[in-house]
Structure formats: structure tokens, C-alpha cells
A = this chain, B = another copy of it.
Amino acid sequence: MSKRDVTLGIDIGGTTTGIGMVDSEGRLIAKKTIDTFGKKPFEVFKKNLFQEWESFFRAFQDEVNILAVGAGAPNANYYKGTIENPPNLNWGFVNFVEEMKSFFHVPVFITNDANAAAIGEKFFGAAKNSDNFIEVTLGTGLGSGIYSGGQIVYGHDGFAGELGHIIVKPNGRLCGCGNRGCLETYASATGIVRSFYKFLASENKESILKQKSMNEVTSKLIYEAAKNGDDIAIKTFEYTGEMLGKGLATAVTLFSPDLIVLFGGAASAGDLLIEPTVHAMNKYAFTPFKNKVTVKLSELPMGDAAILGASALAWNELKK
């Protein structure tokens, strides 16, 4: 039996890390989830990864041929192959590509999770036919991976594409980055909760969520409340879309993409978010670009998207 060619996708999250073997059609042959041990030094993660891999891989070693490894991680530098002081991992500066190469003995590539999602979308998802699109990841924050002319926009240092940190409201909300008015303080799971507070303040209306403690109110609960006709929650999503659309209008004016793909937990609000987003995007984009950009939801399977993206990074590099 001839072996099947795969790449290994490694998705490093703050809590868990997913590992999967993916073929060139995006079929996930097998996957495993391990602990990231984010509070401990990188050495702990590495040792555990290699041990888990040995036992996991044993069952597949006659079936697959691993051509390369791709990884997605916070604060990953594509050019240098490093992970650099990620806020949610206690790792400091890690020479990730070197460490993996000496174990797997195949080419290894790394990029940040938002770029990996974009590459996954290009290879296996909603962006197969686009060379100019923006993948927007709506999670706790807002990440983006930008394709321009068929290539990811990396910038001079590998860290380009920070759509979450363009300022959409001068002197607006304080952001974790220290600036005020960054897009992700409005368009993200945490931004949605902050907007809910805003409308509690401005509207003086009842909300079915007022019985909850403030710590319990999540973007998901606000979404469900909006679906049930809660006025404050509906206004919250309209406003989130308005701000997201403003940010996208800027990106459209600079990149002239034909497609924007929304990905991540907060994107599952669907039309409740997409409708006001598209409206605002077309209102604020450069006039010749209005009504020319498609906005759609990711077509990657939510649970496996990050692994598929990391694997697609490796497939993309092998193609070069």
C-alpha cells in the first residue's frame, strides 16, 4: 500500500494544542489535542509534544508520509520561525522552527494563528477562488490574515495585518495594546460585551440579561438575547456591525479585496452581525469599491479550522 502524503498542522493555543495530519485536499486523517502548559517553560510543552507524538504517530507510520510541519501560534514570526513573547504563554522567545526541525526532520513553518486561518480558508475553505481577501477572526480579540496578490501580507517584520488595532474611533475605548479606539475593542467577543454595557447606559431599557451577574454576560448570551428580541442586545449587534464595517471599509480601500471571510466564535451570530457590517462597510469604503466586496462566513469546520490552517501553511510552502 502506498503511503498518503500529509502535512502536520500544529495549532498552539493558550490552553490546548491541536495536532493533525492533513492531506492536500484538506482531509484530516487524524488529530490529537494535548496540553499547552502555557504557564510553564516551553521545554515542558516540547517534551510532552514529542512524547505524545511518538505514541500517537505509531498507529499511522505505515499509512502516511509527512512532508512538512506547519504551525499557527500567537506572536509567531513567519520570517524568523520564532514565537516572540506571546501574552498568554509563559515562553518568552522560542526558536520554534529550529526546535521542531531537529525532531521531525522535515521542513517546518510557522505563522500567527490569524494568518494560518487565512491560508486554511484559501486552501480548504471559502476563499479557494480569491487571491485578494481578508480573513477576520472574531474571538476574544480580532485577528486578521490578509491575502494580496495571492500572498499573505507579512510586512517587513512578519507581523503585518493587525486589523484589530486600526483606530476606528478617535479617543474611543481603551485597548489592551495601550491605544484608544482600536477596532477589536468594538468588534470581538469582549467588544460585544462592552457595547452591551454602552447601551445599558445610553438606553435606559430593560434587558433579559440584567438578572445575570456581569461576569456571566458573554457575547453568546447577548446573541441569544438578540435572537429573542432583546432591544439592548439587538442594538449591541447593530453597533458591533457598524464598527466592524467601518474598519473593513478602511481595509477595503487599501487592499481592494473581492472577499472578506468572517471566522471565529463571534462570527456565528451570522446575519445579525453581517447585515450591519456590510451596510457600514459599503457606506464608508472608497466610492468605486462600494458594493463590490462579498462578505461571508468561513467554510472551515470550526473545531478543526486552526489545525487545517496550520497544515495549509505547510502545503503552501511546499508549493513554492
- Given A179-B284, A286-B165, A148 and B153 contact (CB-CB distance below 8 Å): yes
CA distance A151 to B148 in the complex (A): 9
In the complex, the answer to whether A160 meets B177 with C-beta atoms within 8 Å is no
Chain A contact residues: over half helix, strand or loop, or mixed?
Answer: loop
**Taking the nearest CB of chain B, how far is it from the CB of A143, in angstroms?**
12
Q: Which of B155, B177, B253 contacts A162 (CB 8 A)?
A: B253
In the complex, the answer to whether B286 meets A253 with C-beta atoms within 8 Å is no
The number of times this chain is found in the oligomer is: 2
A156 CB–B CB distance under 8 Å: yes
A132 CB–B CB distance under 8 Å: yes
CA distance A310 to B197 in the complex (A): 54
Chain B contacts for A178, CB-based, 8 A: 287
Chain B contacts for A255, CB-based, 8 A: 153, 155, 160, 254
A167 CB–B CB distance under 8 Å: yes
**Taking the nearest CB of chain B, how far is it from the CB of A182, in angstroms?**
8
**Taking the nearest CB of chain B, how far is it from the CB of A85, in angstroms?**
10
Chain B contacts for A257, CB-based, 8 A: 155-156
Q: Which of B132, B162, B163 contacts A156 (CB 8 A)?
A: B132
22 contacts between A and B (CB under 8 A): A132-B156, A148-B155, A149-B151, A153-B153, A153-B254, A154-B256, A159-B288, A159-B289, A160-B254, A160-B256, A161-B254, A161-B256, A162-B289, A165-B286, A165-B287, A166-B250, A166-B286, A167-B249, A170-B170, A170-B246, A179-B284, A179-B287
Chain A residues engaging chain B, CB cutoff 8 angstroms: 130-132, 146, 148-149, 151, 153-163, 165-167, 169-170, 177-179, 182, 246, 249-251, 253-258, 284, 286-289, 292
Give 7 A-B pairs besides A148-B154, A162-B286 with Cβ atoms closer than 8 angstroms: A130-B156, A149-B151, A154-B256, A155-B257, A156-B258, A163-B254, A169-B170
